[in-house]
């Protein structure tokens, strides 16, 4: 081909370009392959940070994989008899929801409620605001043992 010769015109893209700023949160997360996060319920970031750090521990993932989750709805909703086993059950369920990829933010309210029942020191609320008091991620991880 000689210099200055006209090439054929490039073909138009087969799929319309969609820019990040035009996408919904879910579409953007899928496009960027972002991991699923945990919703914050007012001063629960300590819990979210702890849960996300623990999620990548291979030994914990293996143990949770073989943990039996109660099958009946009554067993799942029984928070009056909250126990460390309840925390394990709810942690497994939370991680399964996170891995489903259905949403970019998972509500951790069930796990939070169980944590408060098992470890009431994390359920303290500020008298003025009614919000949960600030907690420490290290304390949360230490008490989860």
Domain ranges for the chain, please list them.
42-123+130-143
Q: What are the respective helix, strand and coil percentages of the chain, to the nearest 5?
A: 50, 5, 50
Percent of the chain past pLDDT 90, that is, above it, reads 14
Alpha carbon distances (Å) from 140 to 28, 83, 86, 122: 31, 16, 16, 8
25: enclosing H helix or E strand: helix 25-32
| Statement: residue 145 has pLDDT above 80 | no
pLDDT of residue 28: 81
The number of helix segments (H) and strand segments (E) in the chain equals 7, 2
Q: Is the pLDDT of residue 35 over 80?
A: no
- Per-residue pLDDT for 70 more than 70? no
| Cβ-based neighbours of 11, under 8 Å, separated by 6 or more | none
Tell me the pLDDT tens digit for each residue of 92-117: 989 988 888 776 667 788 888 888 98
pLDDT at residue 57 is higher than 60: yes
Residues 6+ apart with CB under 8 A from 128: none
Q: What is the pLDDT of residues 7-23, one digit of tens each?
A: 788 888 888 888 889 99
State the Cα–Cα distance between residues 25 and 63, nearest whole angstrom. Answer: 32
pTM above 0.85, yes or no: no
């Amino acid at each position: 081909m000689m210099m200055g010769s006209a090439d054929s015109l490039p073909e138009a893209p087969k799929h319309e370009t969609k820019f990040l700023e035009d996408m919904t949160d879910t579409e953007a997360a899928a496009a960027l392959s972002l991991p699923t996060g945990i919703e914050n319920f007012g001063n629960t970031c300590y819990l979210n940070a702890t849960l996300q750090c623990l999620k990548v521990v291979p030994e914990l993932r293996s143990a949770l994989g073989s943990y039996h989750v109660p099958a009946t709805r009554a067993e799942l909703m029984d928070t009056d008899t909250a126990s460390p086993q309840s925390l394990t059950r709810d942690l497994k369920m939370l991680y399964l929801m996170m891995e489903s990829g259905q949403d970019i933010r998972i509500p951790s309210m069930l796990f939070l409620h169980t944590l408060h029942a098992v470890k009431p020191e994390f359920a303290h609320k500020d008298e003025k605001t009614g919000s949960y008091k600030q907690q420490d991620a290290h304390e949360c991880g230490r008490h989860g043992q």
